[in-house]
C-alpha cells in the first residue's frame, strides 16, 4: 500500500490514508468544507452519500439519519436535544418525575405543568402534529397529613406559543366542548357525560369561585357530581397522601400505604390550526368509605361545537408550540392547598412527515 500524506498527501490505487504531519505529535486531522458546502462521505458503491451535521448535539445525543443520508443529532433520552424529531414516532420532550424528585409542597393546579417544544426540535408550530400527555400513578394530596382536605379535580389544557405565555384562544363565539363516557362506580356501567363550553373570555363556575379560560385554557373534565377526580373523603382517618407521606417511598402512614389515587392515562391533542381535537382516557382509584377504594374510568373527546345558527368559529389563533396542563380543584378554596405529590408525567410530540409523498407498495 502506498500512502499519501496530507502535508505531503500520499495515495495508492487501492487505499487512501489521510494522516496529519507525523513530525508533530500533537497535530490534528481536520475535514472542513467551504463556507456553503458540507462534509460528505460514501461507502463502497452505495447509492447513499452521507452528509454530516453542521452543528453539534447536546451531551448524550445520538447521530441519526433521515433515511436519505442526511445525518443529525437526536437529543439524549429524557428530552430536549438539539436534533430534529423523527417523523411518525413519539418523541419525549419533558418528564416530571415526582417519585424521584421530592416536592417541598404540592404542585398546585394553578401552577400547572408547562412545556414548549424547542425551535431546534420544531422550528414552527405547524410542524407539530400531536401532543401526547401521559400520566403514570399520579397522586394528589396536601402539604402535610395533619392538613386533611378533600381533593376533587377538574382537568384543563392550555395551548400556548411561548414559555409563560397565555392561552392562544381566538374567537369569543367559539364553543369548545368535551363529551365522555364515565364508568359508574356504584352500578358498574358506563354513563354519558358532557362539559360546559370553553373558549375565549368564558369562565367555569365551581364551588366557591370560577376559573377563567383566558388563564387556564380549555376545560376537559369535571363538573358538579360527575367527572371529578376525587382523591379522598373528609374522614379524619382517610385522606390523600401528603408531601410527608409520598406513596412511592412511605412505609408507615395510613395515607401513604393505602389512600392512593394512582391516576393513569393519557390526553392526545391533535394540533390543528383552529382547534385542539382531543381524545382522553383516565383511570384512577377513588375512596369508597373508610379504607375502601373503587375503580373509576373516563374516556372521551373534545371538539368544536356548532352553534344553533350552524356557524362554527376557530377556538385557537393557530397551531400551538406548547401546552400547559392544569389539575384545578372543583372546590375553589383548595386551589393552592391540594395538588400533585407523587407520580410521573411525560409529554411527547409527533412531527409531520416530510413534504415528499410517501411511497405506497
The domain locations on the chain are: 1-30, 43-83, 85-351
DSSP 215: H
Is this structure's pTM higher than 0.75? no
Nearest to 144 by CA among 116, 90, 103: 103
CB 226 within 8 A of CB 168: no
Beta partners for residue 280, in sequence order: 267, 300
- Other Cβ atoms within 10 Å of 350 Cβ, number: 20
Q: In whole angstroms, what is the distance from residue 8 CA to residue 21 CA?
A: 8
Q: In whole angstroms, what is the distance from residue 198 CA to residue 180 CA?
A: 15
C-alpha cell belonging to residue 321: 408550540
Q: In whole angstroms, what is the distance from residue 126 CA to residue 169 CA?
A: 16
pLDDT score recorded for residue 93: 92
CB 323 within 8 A of CB 112: no
Which residue positions in the chain have pLDDT lower than 70? 1-22, 25, 29, 35-36, 44-45, 47, 56-61, 66-68, 73-88, 148, 184-187, 232-240, 253-258, 289-291, 307-309, 354-361
Q: In whole angstroms, what is the distance from residue 259 CA to residue 253 CA?
A: 10
Q: In whole angstroms, what is the distance from residue 325 CA to residue 218 CA?
A: 10
Phi, psi of 289 (to 5 degrees): 90, 175
SS3 181: strand
pLDDT score recorded for residue 163: 94
Beta partners for residue 269, in sequence order: 131, 278
CB 185 within 8 A of CB 307: no
Q: In whole angstroms, what is the distance from residue 87 CA to residue 58 CA?
A: 20
**CB contact set of 22 (below 8 Å; sequence gap of 6+):** 5
CB 87 within 8 A of CB 104: no
* CA distances to 229, 343, 353 from 250, in Å: 23, 13, 46
Q: In whole angstroms, what is the distance from residue 17 CA to residue 15 CA?
A: 6
Residues in the chain, overall count:
361
CB 113 within 8 A of CB 328: no
Q: In whole angstroms, what is the distance from residue 287 CA to residue 294 CA?
A: 6
Amino acid at each position: 500500500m502506498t500512502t499519501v500524506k496530507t502535508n505531503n498527501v500520499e495515495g495508492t490505487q487501492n487505499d487512501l490514508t489521510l494522516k496529519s504531519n507525523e513530525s508533530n505529535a500533537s497535530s490534528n486531522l481536520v475535514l472542513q468544507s467551504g463556507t456553503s458546502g458540507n462534509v460528505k462521505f460514501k461507502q463502497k458503491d452505495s447509492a447513499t452519500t452521507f452528509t454530516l451535521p453542521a452543528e453539534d448535539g447536546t451531551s448524550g445525543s445520538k447521530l441519526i439519519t433521515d433515511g436519505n443520508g442526511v445525518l443529525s443529532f437526536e437529543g439524549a433520552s429524557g428530552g430536549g436535544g438539539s436534533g430534529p424529531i423523527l417523523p411518525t414516532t413519539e418523541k419525549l420532550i419533558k418528564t416530571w418525575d415526582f417519585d424521584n424528585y421530592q416536592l417541598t409542597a404540592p404542585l398546585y393546579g394553578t401552577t400547572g405543568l408547562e412545556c414548549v417544544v424547542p425551535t431546534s426540535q420544531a422550528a414552527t408550530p405547524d410542524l407539530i402534529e400531536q401532543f401526547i400527555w401521559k400520566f403514570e400513578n399520579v397522586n394528589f394530596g396536601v402539604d402535610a397529613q395533619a392538613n386533611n382536605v378533600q381533593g376533587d379535580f377538574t382537568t384543563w389544557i392550555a395551548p400556548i406559543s411561548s414559555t409563560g405565555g397565555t392561552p392562544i384562544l381566538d374567537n369569543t363565539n367559539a364553543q369548545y366542548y368535551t363529551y365522555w363516557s364515565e364508568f359508574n362506580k356504584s352500578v358498574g356501567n358506563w354513563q354519558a357525560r358532557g362539559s360546559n363550553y370553553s373558549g375565549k373570555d368564558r369562565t367555569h363556575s365551581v364551588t366557591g369561585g370560577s376559573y377563567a379560560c383566558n388563564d387556564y385554557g380549555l376545560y376537559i373534565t369535571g363538573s358538579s357530581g360527575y367527572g371529578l377526580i376525587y382523591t379522598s373523603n373528609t374522614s379524619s382517618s382517610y385522606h390523600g397522601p401528603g408531601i410527608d407521606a409520598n406513596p412511592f417511598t412511605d412505609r408507615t402512614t395510613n395515607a401513604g400505604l393505602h389512600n392512593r389515587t394512582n391516576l393513569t392515562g393519557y390526553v392526545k391533542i391533535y394540533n390543528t390550526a383552529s382547534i385542539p381535537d382531543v381524545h382522553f382516557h383516565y383511570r384512577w382509584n377513588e375512596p369508597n368509605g373508610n379504607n375502601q377504594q373503587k375503580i373509576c374510568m373516563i374516556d372521551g373527546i373534545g371538539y368544536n361545537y356548532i352553534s344553533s345558527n350552524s356557524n362554527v368559529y376557530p377556538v385557537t389563533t393557530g397551531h400551538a408550540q406548547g401546552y400547559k396542563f392544569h389539575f384545578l380543584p372543583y372546590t375553589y378554596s383548595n386551589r393552592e392547598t391540594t395538588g400533585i405529590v407523587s407520580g410521573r408525567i411525560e409529554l411527547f410530540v409527533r412531527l409531520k412527515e416530510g413534504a415528499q409523498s410517501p411511497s405506497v407498495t
